[in-house]
Amino acid sequence: MINFSAKNIRNMKYTFPLILLISLSFALTRAQNEGSHFTNLYFTVSGRNLPSNGNPYLLIYHVHDDSSTNLGKTLGVKDNPNPEWNKVFKAKYFHGENVQNQRLFVQVKGLQNTANVFVELSSYMESGQNLSIPLTGEYSGSSLILQGTTPFYFSLQVNNIPATDFNWWGVRTGLSDPYINCYFFSASDPWDAQRSKFHETTVVRNVHDASWWDQPIEYLNYVKGKGQKFLLEVMDHDHMSKDDFLGEAIIDVDEFVRHEAILITPLLNTPKIGQAGQNITLTVKWEGWAQLTEP
């Protein structure tokens, strides 16, 4: 069993046979911490032309001086040569003359053999922050792509929801108990796209109108110009059977970010409930870019 101490991780580059070369693409958020200037780096990883019979996943560590921090791991993506690991990783890059030995150690596991990556963060900061990783040896022709992301916040409100709570005899017992599932995708057709769920709001009980203004949603995966869209699915919580679908809205994320304002849109594919001509509307409110300061 390998001990992932900072010392052992540093020595791995001399003992592991497969080392990958990296250049990195990071989006940056700066912060001040009691005089120590650091930059928060956010990024996701995807694969290209990996072995199609594997179940690859990633483990990433941040190595700083004599300590190492586990930044987390992705889920496996089975039997897909072009996996998209949507987990956003966050790493600190400290600035200053006395700051040295800041690296990432990346493991690609779930293949026949583990691939290991060492990343000097100072080199990535100077490289234009554009990461492309060609794999070598038995994985020659495959690659990993690290893509920087820029987090932001938004909040939601739904209006004009029809009453949906009825008992077994069809007698109305209340209004609606709405909540919203939030997905993102990067394709022209949401039903053909690989949708990724990133948030679910709380349930608001017995209302015609529901607001989550006081519960801003953090979206970590934003990349400008990648054709990202939100699929916002409004549901009604049901105590007696499965939850009811009330409608959905598709939001162009680039356009929403460009305007940094409030977007009001009718829901699509709403079922025939309530009064004829009743339109449920969804409001998406821009809350600002993430400016994270850590103690």
- What is the rounded CA–CA span in Å between residue 286 and residue 219? 11
In order along its 295 residues, the chain shows pLDDT tens digits of 445 555 565 555 433 333 343 334 445 544 444 445 788 889 998 899 999 888 999 999 998 877 899 999 999 999 899 999 999 999 888 877 666 778 888 899 999 898 887 877 777 777 766 677 787 788 888 888 888 899 999 999 999 998 875 555 555 667 899 999 999 998 766 666 789 999 999 999 999 999 999 999 999 999 999 999 999 999 999 877 789 999 999 999 999 999 999 999 999 988 765 554 468 999 999 999 987 545 4
Report whether CATH 2.60.40.150 matches the domain 152-289.
yes
- What is the rounded CA–CA span in Å between residue 126 and residue 121? 9
pLDDT for residue 39: 81
pLDDT for residue 210: 98
CB 268 within 8 A of CB 250: yes
Q: What are 121's two structure tokens? A: 């963060």
Q: What are 222's two structure tokens? A: 């934003």
* Of 145, 154, 125, 123, residue with least CA distance to 40: 125
- What is the rounded CA–CA span in Å between residue 242 and residue 86? 29
Strands 19-20 and 115-120: parallel
pLDDT for residue 231: 97
Q: What are 31's two structure tokens? A: 């912060």
152-289 has the same fold as 6-148? yes
Topology classification of domain 6-148: Immunoglobulin-like (2.60.40)
Give the start-to-end residue ranges of the domains of the chain. 6-148, 152-289
Burial class (CB in 10 A: 0-12, 13-18, 19+), 211: middle
